[in-house]
Every structure is written in C-alpha cells, then in structure tokens.
C-alpha cells in the first residue's frame, strides 16, 4: 500500500478482484454487498455521525526566497466531512496532547525506531528510552521516561520554519472541506523540500477503525518560483522575447517570441545541459498536454545578480559602437538586457523501481545532478535594422560543487511550427556555426518564415551541428529527452536528420510526420572544479526569408559574432583578414583612416585600446604566422 488506498474510504473493486461476481445495491437507508461466495452484507443507516475523509496525504507548497517573516501558506482541501453530523477538532502546532501535532519526523517512524532500539539492547524494556551515564561508558541505564514523545522532543517539535497553524479550530458540516494554513517564517525556509507531518485529531472516533490519529505530510518547498519577463527589441522595440529564469526559451503557455508581428512560428523549447545519456538538465513541458505532471523541471530558478528571483530586464543600455558610414564615425548601439540565473537539479525518472515515462512523483536525485549554475544574459538591440531579427544569449556556466566535470555538452531543442504543411528542415554551415531552417513543402522557399540558432564565438570551439527530428521523437513522454539528447550532442556533427525526412530544399511531403523539431548541438566542455565557462548562442527569425540564400545567414552569423566581441582584425569588413587589413589598421591609427564595422574589432590584441601595438600584432599575424587576433565578450554584464 502506497498510502493512497489507506485513505480512500470508498467502496472500490479493481481488476483481479473478481468484480464480475460482486454486486452492490443502494437505497435511501441501506447498502447491500454480495460476493462470489454467495455472502450478502447489509448495512443500514444508524445514528448520524461525522465521517473524516482525507483528500490529500502528501503535498508541498512553495515558499519563495525573500518571503517575509510571517508568510501564509495554504494547503487547500486537505480533508472533509462526509458524514451527517458536524466534524469538529482543534489544531495546534506546539501541543502534543490535543489537536494537530506538527512534527519533522513521521510519528510511526519514531515508534519503529524505538522498537528496533529495544531489540538491540539486551534485557531492555519496550517503550523505555536510554542514555549513556557520563561516568560509566560500558553500560546503558534505563530512563524512567516511558513515553517516546518525551525522550524525543526534538523530533516531535514543530519545525523551526513553522510559527503555527493559523486556524486552530474547525467545525465542518456535511460535505465541507478544510484548508490547513501555515504561518511560515519565510527567511528560515532554505532551498528544497522541507517535510513535516500533521496528525489529525477529530471527533470521528471510528475513522478507519485504527488506533491513534491519521497523519498527513504537508511541507514547504523553498526556492524561486518559475517566472518570465518580456524583453523588447527591434528597430522600434516592436519585437518581444520572453526572458525565463530557467533554461526554458519559451512555451505555449507564456508570452511567445514575437518577431515583426509573427509569433505562431514558435511552440516551445529550451536549452539542454548533458553529462551522460541519463544525466540531462532542462526545463520543458510535455508536448502532448502541457499538464504539470509532464513538466521536466530539471533546471531550478535561482537568485540572480540583482538579488531577485524573477528575471531582471534593464532599461535601455549602451551595448557597443557601430559604424554606418564605412568606419568614418561610430554610433552607440543600445538595447535591453535580460538577466536570470538557474541551477540544475535532476529528477530520478525511475520511480518505484520502474521507468516512469511521465516523470511524475519523482524525487530529486543528488547523485544524478550535474552541479552547474548558469548566469544567463539575453541581449535585444533597439533601433538597429541589421540586428532587428535576433536575440543573443550569453551563458556563464559555473561548476558549483568543487568537482571536475568531464564531457558536459550544451544544446537546445526547439519546436518551430512553420508555415503551411510543416515538414520543417534545418540547414547548417559549420564554418560560421549557424543553422537555419524552414518548411520545405507547400511554401515559396524564397519568401517564407526562416528560423535558426547559432553559436558564439563561431570559430573557437565551433558549433557541433543540428538535427531535424520527427515530432514523435521529440518531447513526448518516451521521446528524445529520455535517451537520445546526449547521443545527438556527442556523435552527430554537422547537418543530420532522421530517416525518412527530406533533407534538402525544395522537398516534397513524405510519409514521415509533418511536425518536426530542431535539435541544436552547440559545444562540449571539460570543467575544472569551480570553473566558469562562457559561450554564447542566438535565436533569429525572418518572416520573409529566403531559406536557400545561405549567404544571408552566414553574414548574419558574422555580424552577431563581431557584435559580441569576436572576429577581430577584419578592418575593411570584407570577410577576410589579410594585408589590406594591416594597411587599413595602420591608416586608422596613424592617418585618421576609417575603422571597422564595430569599434572594438580594431583592438586585435584585446588590451582595451586601439594603437600601434595592434598594428604590430596584426602585421605579425599576417607576415610571421604569429598569434591570431584575440576576441572576447564586449556586450556588458549589467550586474551591480
């Protein structure tokens, strides 16, 4: 019995119970049962009495970080009165003699532990507690205290975070349910679940015909609640991108990414972090129903650098300097920055000794958790046409447990519902670390929704690849997240696709599902203890794109890579570094010549200035095979 049947308190016949030979009949005053042996049980109405029915035996309610000293937590409809007389009782959190007893340890467990201790001590007496005499370590002396609740006061005491139950008395009429309300000391609730047990004492003296009072588990869960904020971007700030405080990019229940008035192209998706086939961290809803039971919440919100749980979005902030006249002058590029932080905490999907495809009722598993903390920054540019259709993510990933973590890989899964018949297919350019895709059937591939993602920097640890998936192998309960994600990230480089998918444009419908997803594999890294590893990604969408114009997306990749601070040394902005750039940089420094597209691209030695040291550095690279230009992030981190 898992504890549910114990409190069911209703007539029920399940499979394997010979229900075909069982009968039940009810009239206003009698209930009659029969069984396969010919027995007849007749029950008639007697004196009205209360009837306690427990509706919830185990529940956790959230207590967010930064909750006040007195924070009210309500557990709705914990029990009800199913009888014809009033059900009455009292609730106390600090008195064991009457009403509710709220404890940190389940009372029956304490009793079992005491019985085991009695069996282990020779010549001991049941129900007697023992302690060591300070002057004689070779023997136990029996205590005169005969009640376990006296000798284990710490176990029976209310937990430190609970002030009291605020509604101590109840009277319930027929059919009325009762809410248990805690007065919680918010600052004392740390991250994770905090369990306590509530013993129900009522005037239903016949409840279940058991000795003692029933116990339910009502605890609190400390931490940050999942939440979103909206980040504006675009030439007139007309676009919207949700900022999550988990690894989720977006889902159908929240504000969806809106690029130039188009939002129906995005269903849901998010980033994934994996260390093995079974150790994957992500936060996504099940594709089939969106039921909370199908939520894979393996990345938990954390307090960000602005000391908030909810994502923080800055005011308009300078992001860099860009030239619109060939490098003669520079204009400040401004935008908004979304700030969030989350950690991984993996759930055990093998509930009750068997695979639980729906990830329900599973606990967090310390031995599976990878041990990462991610400070994530999202950049949306305002007022710049060249960056109107893209948002940039910077991921600062820290190993948080002081352990080496070899072979951690980073990816993303997105379900794009593109135009017409679906049949979405992704293209890929490894040299520019960018993937873009569209529907390959029933649309004008030269004027359609084109979406994709890329990696920053594009030339250092370049993007691994992209895989087009049949939707049936995506975020369904027995799909990709349970077996294949790490395989894709570690063994499937370049452009790949599942068998049956038409992989090139234009293409005709196939018998394979027209609903598809894109799985992006970005990069892998071996973490040293407490190391912070930084990489970037970006998401783009063009409502009127040409999916066969590969140059448009490789040019976008170059632009985003340079804007973030990489790809330095291309002074004349022709896509290559050569002698012409050495001369152009010399002229910029010494003769007032024009500079590169972004001001920082001339700082090839990455020392924060542009001077003759950069000219010598670039000349040494070109003429003497010296070190390549050095890139680094220039997009600001706005933390105070």
Closest Cα partner for 413 from 495, 515, 493, 485?
485
Length of the chain: 640
> How many whole angstroms separate alpha carbon 432 and alpha carbon 572?
19
Average pLDDT value for the chain: 82
Q: What percent of the chain has pLDDT over 90?
A: 51
pLDDT at 350 over 80: no
Overall pTM > 0.85: no
pLDDT digits (tens, 9 = 90+) for 15-48: 555 555 677 888 877 888 888 788 888 888 788 8
> How many whole angstroms separate alpha carbon 598 and alpha carbon 596?
5
> What is the average pLDDT across 365-373?
82
Is residue 612 within 8 A of residue 605, CB to CB? The reply is no
- Fold entry, domain 228-564: Beta-galactosidase; Chain A, domain 5 (2.70.98)
Which residues partner with 285 through β-bridges?
295
pLDDT at 330 over 60: yes
Residue 511 main-chain phi, psi, to 5 deg: -75, -15
pLDDT at 541 over 90: yes
Where exactly are the structural domains of the chain? Answer: 5-44, 52-223, 228-564
Closest Cα partner for 285 from 267, 300, 273?
267
Q: What is the CA radius of gyration of the chain?
A: 32
pLDDT digits (tens, 9 = 90+) for 73-125: 999 999 999 988 999 997 764 433 333 456 555 555 555 555 554 554 444 44
């Amino acid at each position: 019995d898992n504890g549910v049947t114990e409190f069911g308190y209703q007539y029920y016949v399940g499979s394997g119970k010979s229900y075909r030979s069982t009968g039940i009949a009810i009239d206003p005053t009698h209930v009659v049962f029969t069984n396969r042996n010919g027995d007849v049980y007749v029950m008639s109405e007697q004196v009205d009495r209360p009837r306690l029915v427990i509706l919830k035996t185990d529940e956790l309610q959230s207590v967010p970080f930064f909750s006040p000293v007195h924070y009210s937590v309500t557990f709705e409809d914990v029990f009800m009165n199913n009888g014809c007389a009033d059900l009455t009782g009292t609730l106390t959190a600090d008195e064991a003699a009457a009403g509710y007893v709220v404890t940190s340890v389940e009372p029956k467990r304490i009793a079992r532990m005491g019985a085991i201790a009695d069996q282990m001590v020779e010549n001991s007496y049941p129900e007697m507690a023992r302690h060591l005499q300070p002057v004689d370590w070779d023997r136990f002396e029996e205590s005169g205290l005969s009640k376990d609740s006296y000798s284990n006061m710490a176990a029976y005491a209310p937990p430190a975070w609970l002030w009291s139950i605020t509604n101590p008395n109840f009277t319930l009429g027929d059919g009325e349910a009762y809410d248990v309300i805690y007065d919680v000391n918010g600052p004392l609730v740390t991250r994770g679940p905090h369990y306590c047990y509530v013993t129900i004492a009522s005037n239903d003296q016949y409840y279940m015909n058991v000795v003692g009072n029933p116990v339910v588990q009502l605890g609190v869960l400390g931490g940050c609640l999942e939440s979103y904020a909206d980040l504006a971007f675009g030439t007139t700030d007309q676009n919207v991108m949700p900022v999550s405080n988990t690894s989720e990019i977006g889902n159908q229940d929240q504000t969806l990414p809106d690029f130039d008035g188009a939002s129906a192209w995005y269903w849901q998706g998010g980033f994934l972090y994996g260390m093995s086939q079974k150790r994957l961290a992500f936060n996504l809803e099940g594709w089939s129903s969106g039921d909370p039971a199908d939520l894979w919440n393996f990345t938990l919100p954390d307090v960000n650098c602005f000391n908030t749980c909810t994502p923080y979005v800055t005011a308009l902030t300078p992001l860099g300097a860009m030239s619109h006249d060939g490098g003669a002058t520079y204009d400040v590029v401004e935008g908004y920055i979304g700030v969030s932080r989350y950690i991984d905490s993996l759930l055990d999907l093998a509930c009750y000794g068997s695979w639980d495809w729906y990830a329900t009722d599973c606990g967090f598993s310390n031995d599976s958790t990878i041990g990462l903390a991610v400070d994530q920054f999202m950049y949306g540019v305002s007022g710049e046409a060249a960056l109107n259709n893209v948002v940039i993510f910077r991921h600062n990933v820290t190993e948080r447990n002081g352990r080496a973590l070899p072979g951690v890989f980073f990816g993303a899964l997105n379900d794009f519902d593109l135009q017409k018949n679906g049949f979405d297919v992704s293209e890929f350019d490894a040299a520019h670390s960018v993937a873009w895709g569209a529907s390959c059937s029933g649309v004008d591939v030269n004027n359609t929704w084109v979406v994709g993602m890329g990696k920053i920097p594009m030339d250092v640890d370049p993007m691994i690849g992209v895989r087009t998936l049949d939707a049936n192998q995506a975020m369904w309960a027995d799909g990709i997240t349970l077996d294949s994600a790490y395989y894709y990230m570690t063994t499937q480089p370049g452009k790949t696709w599942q068998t049956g998918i038409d992989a090139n444009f234009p293409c005709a419908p196939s018998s394979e599902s027209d609903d598809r997803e894109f799985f992006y594999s970005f990069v892998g890294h071996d973490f040293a203890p407490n190391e912070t590893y930084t990489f970037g990604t970006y998401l783009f969408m063009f409502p009127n794109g040409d999916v066969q114009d590969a140059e448009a997306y490789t040019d976008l990749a170059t632009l985003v890579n340079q804007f973030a601070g990489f790809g330095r040394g291309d002074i004349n902005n022709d896509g290559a570094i050569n002698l012409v750039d050495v001369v152009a940089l010399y002229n910029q420094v010494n003769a007032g010549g024009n500079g590169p597209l972004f001001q920082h691209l001339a700082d090839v030695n990455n020392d924060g200035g542009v001077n003759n040291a950069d000219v010598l550095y670039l000349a040494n690279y070109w003429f003497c095979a010296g070190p390549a230009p050095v890139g680094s992030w220039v997009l600001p981190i706005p933390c105070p």
